[in-house]
Amino acid sequence: MRKTPIAKTRVPVAMHLTPDLVAKTFKLVEDEGPEPNWTQISGQQLDELVSRVEQEAADEEIWVFAYGSLMWNPGFQVAASEDAVAYGWHRAFSLRIERLRATSDVPGLMLALRPGGSCSGLVLKLPCATKKQDLRTLLAREIRYAEVCDMVRWVSVKTPTGTRRALTFWASTKRSGLTEKIPLDDAAVLIAQACGPAGSCAEYLHRTVLDLANRNIFDRNLWQLQQMVAARLRALSQDGSICEKVHVS
């Protein structure tokens, strides 16, 4: 197979969103249960989703396109990985949340894929020996609610060894009401304020941008967003709106 090089843009050196600033966003938060107005996926529904993906994959290997937390925390033993670009999609903080890294009183944002542009990330191969088990664990992590089962889809990605078909999550069509285009100013406010039992949205942004930078991947919007969140956290810290908090892992 002909190898196709994937161009990368040199990442700026210094991040504005530092670990010290991120640490100020941590606080003790109790688990409030399921996301409001969504129904937790049942074991049977999860099994049906696993079967659907297996049928769609047929006898082929399953590769997963990672563009956010799956890059730095895949949750399974990665059998192989490659740099990858998904054309026709871009990563964006466009998924509003009230759980995990947020609460109903202080909502936040998580990453999703929205139509248009391109998105550089990784493809991760599920181990053949534990493929079904790892797939179920992965789906249970990403798809917690029955209403969002259609946020599992296959995308075509370009890798150094050619084109691959890869499974991904939260790739939202223009018609979907689950994600929305959110101005960076508004996104920075939500990300700076939100924290839940799983950590803060600022931590999620920091870890993602740092991982991308370490891979020499430059996402212009996320780079600008970490600058804006850092500026907001500094301002809040100076006027006393942020106190020292304890992180719950």
Inter-residue contact 162 to 53 (CB < 8 Å): no
**Residues facing residue 104 across a β-bridge:** none
What is the distance between the alpha carbons of residues 170 and 112, in angstroms, rounded to a whole number? 5
What is the distance between the alpha carbons of residues 86 and 155, in angstroms, rounded to a whole number? 7
CA atoms lying within 13 Å on the CB side of residue 105: 6
Q: Which residues are catalytic?
A: 142
Residue from 139, 138, 110, 105 nearest 32 by CA: 105
Q: Which residues contact 132 (CB under 8 A, 6 or more apart)?
A: 50, 54
